């Protein structure tokens, strides 16, 4: 079904709808070789309106955005700018016409400074010389709009992920866009940072900018957008005013079926045996005095604000960072100096940075899958048949969807990359699994699959620690939740006390005391 009803109706918050809009696609198809990935896509972006584009990973959103912003040309169909056909000869030509894309994957020059990135390709000059003072002043003003305290003279490579995202946004704001396309802009931002961004979106909407916004966080879509267009399998399947679509309706349109019971119900009780015991685990500079037990078949949530030390503590536990304290696995004290040593003791860690640290994007599925367990496939020479059989099982068991078995990992959608990473770390058949941000940047349908995988692991007796910034995820998955604040455990919640309000109060130091117990 292609529901375009209301496409010319008045926007509830933005300006009135016109016939052609500020930027539009009309009957666009796009093929890569023999594979057609977009089918008759039509989309209208209006001035003074936030238009959300949602869909599962692989639905065609990224290709659509790249065509709108000049990175790709349509195979057929038209791109219309102010009602006139536009043939952008690349992204620079689109930017020259006021169409700016904020990339999900950072499009920054790592070795340049923040201000050099903001003005890259359009540097300010005073005569023949660069006007560095003016560029620094304007960069600082853009960052202040975003309440970002980054030094304009800092090297981008030294910035944390959320700060890099703010630099991307500042760079786009500095281009005075007439059309702003935002690809998952809040994926690495905290809730407070996201609200600052939304305030800027509201400001740009009031100034008449046409905004296309993509996010897998449907509460954000509901909060910020005027209209929602849903894509599935390369087609537009619905386009309606946001006020006419609930979050449940959006999710069902995305996956083409009713979504109920997002978090699977417990099918097996938590075991009595202690899989992991920590006493006074300290990761210098990040976490101190962490003590807790993790039981067999238990899902333990680890919550806290960005900077609370959640990730660093678990990286210390698996040997990615120096640590002190006592670690017991299966009742035996162990020393873990590296991830390889952790894996030998049945403990594995799935990083939050699947693209940078989890997968080798320019390598194939098979190579990525077996990389962490190569010794199991070398006798002494690499057994490629056994590797191929392992890939067949992984594709089946984890529902990994790829163009072909020979595809590079970088060609997969975010959700399928995450499933490949899960398959990779679970290939070693661990007894304890730590999963950091299991569904960041992943659509609702794939989230449900990953939640089921976590549930099944626990049902098999595997002990699981889930680190997540999404409180509904922590609450829905975990049997109990440890909340961290300033490098310490601020409290533990379980049962009826396992609520967002309780967790937030602990994370912000408004309730309870930090404790090492």
User: Running along the chain, 517 residues long, what does each successive block of 10 average in pLDDT?
Assistant: 40 42 94 85 95 87 93 93 91 89 77 87 84 88 83 86 79 83 81 82 88 90 95 92 92 75 82 95 95 96 89 95 95 94 95 86 91 83 89 92 88 88 92 93 83 93 93 91 94 90 86 47
Quick check: 53 and 65 in contact, CB under 8 A?
yes
Read off the DSSP letter of residue 17: P
pLDDT at 4: 44
Using the 8-state DSSP alphabet, how is residue 15 labeled? Answer: P
Tell the CATH superfamily of the 274-507 domain.
P-loop containing nucleotide triphosphate hydrolases (3.40.50.300)
3-state helix, strand, coil in the chain (%, to 5): 35, 25, 40
CATH 3.40.50.300 fits 1-98+177-257, yes or no: yes
Given the DSSP bridges, would you call strands 480-485 and 299-304 parallel, antiparallel or unpaired?
A: parallel
The answer to whether 104 and 441 are in contact (CB under 8 A) is yes
Asked if the domains 1-98+177-257 and 274-507 are classified in one and the same CATH topology, the answer is: yes
Q: H or E stretch including 255?
A: helix 247-255
Rounded distance between C-alpha atoms, residue 174 and residue 187, angstroms = 21
Say what the pLDDT of residue 9 is. 35
Rounded CA-CA distance 391/368 in Å is 10
Distance, in Å, from the CA atom of 238 to the CA atom of 12, rounded to the nearest integer, reads 18
Phi/psi of residue 49, nearest 5 degrees: -135, 140
CA–CA distance, 335 with 435 (Å, rounded to integer): 21
pLDDT of residue 106: 67
Q: How far apart are CA 503 and CA 483, in angstroms?
A: 7
CA 336 from chain centre, in angstroms, equals: 29
Burial class of residue 313 (count of CB atoms within 10 Å of its CB; 0-12, 13-18, 19+):
buried
Q: How far is C-alpha 77 from the geometric centre of its chain's CA atoms?
A: 31
Does pTM surpass 0.85? Answer: no
Beta-ladder partners of 3? 238
Residue 505 and residue 302 in contact, taking contact as beta carbons nearer than 8 Å: no
DSSP assignment, residue 195? H
Pairing mode, strands 488-494 and 324-329:
unpaired
Give residue limits of the domains in the chain.
Answer: 1-98+177-257, 109-176, 274-507
């Amino acid at each position: 079904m292609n529901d375009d009803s209301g496409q010319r109706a008045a926007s509830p918050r933005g300006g009135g709808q016109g016939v052609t809009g500020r930027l539009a696609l009309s009957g666009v198809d796009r093929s890569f070789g023999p594979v057609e990935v977009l089918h008759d896509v039509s989309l209208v972006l209006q001035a003074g309106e936030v238009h959300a584009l949602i869909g599962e990973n692989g639905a065609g959103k990224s290709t659509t955005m790249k065509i709108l912003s000049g990175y790709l040309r349509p195979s057929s169909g038209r791109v219309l700018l102010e009602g006139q056909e536009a043939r952008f000869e690349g992204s620079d030509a689109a930017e020259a016409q006021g169409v700016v894309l904020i990339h999900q994957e950072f499009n920054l020059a790592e070795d340049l400074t923040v201000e050099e990135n903001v003005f890259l390709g359009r540097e300010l000059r005073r005569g023949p010389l660069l006007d560095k003072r003016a560029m620094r002043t304007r960069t600082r003003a853009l960052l202040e709009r975003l309440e970002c305290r980054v030094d304009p003279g800092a090297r981008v490579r030294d910035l944390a992920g959320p700060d890099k995202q703010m630099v991307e946004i500042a760079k786009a704001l500095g281009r005075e866009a007439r059309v702003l396309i935002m690809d998952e802009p809040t994926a690495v931002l905290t809730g407070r940072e996201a609200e600052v961004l939304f305030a800027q979106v509201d400001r740009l909407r009031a100034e008449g900018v046409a905004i296309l916004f993509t996010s897998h966080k449907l509460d954000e879509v509901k909060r910020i957008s005027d209209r929602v267009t849903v894509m599935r399998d390369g087609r537009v399947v619905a386009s309606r005013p946001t006020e006419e679509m609930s979050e449940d309706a959006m999710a069902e349109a995305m996956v083409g079926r009713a979504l109920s019971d997002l978090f699977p119900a417990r099918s097996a009780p938590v075991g009595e045996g202690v899989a992991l015991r920590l006493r006074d685990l300290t990761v210098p500079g990040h976490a101190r005095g962490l003590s807790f037990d993790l039981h067999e078949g238990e899902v333990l949530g680890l919550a806290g604000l960005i900077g609370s030390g959640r990730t660093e503590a678990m990286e210390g536990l698996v040997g990615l960072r120096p640590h002190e304290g006592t670690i017991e696995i299966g009742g035996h004290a162990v020393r873990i100096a590296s991830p390889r040593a952790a894996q030998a003791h049945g403990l594995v860690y799935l990083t939050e940075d699947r693209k940078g640290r989890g997968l080798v994007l320019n390598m194939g599925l098979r190579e990525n899958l077996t990389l962490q367990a190569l010794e199991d496939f070398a006798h002494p020479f690499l057994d490629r048949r056994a590797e191929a059989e392992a890939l067949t099982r992984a594709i089946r068991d984890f529902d990994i969807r790829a163009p072909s078995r020979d595809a590079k990992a970088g060609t997969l959608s975010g959700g399928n990359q995450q499933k490949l990473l899960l398959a990779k770390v679970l290939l070693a058949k661990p007894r304890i699994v730590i999963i950091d941000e299991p569904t960041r940047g992943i659509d609702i349908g794939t989230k449900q699959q990953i939640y089921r995988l976590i549930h099944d692991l626990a049902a098999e007796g595997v002990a699981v620690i889930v680190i997540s910034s999404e409180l509904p995820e922590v609450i829905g998955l975990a049997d109990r939740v440890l909340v961290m604040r300033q490098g310490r455990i601020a409290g533990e919640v379980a049962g009826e006390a396992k609520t967002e309000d309780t967790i937030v109060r602990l994370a912000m130091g408004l309730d309870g005391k930090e404790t090492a117990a």
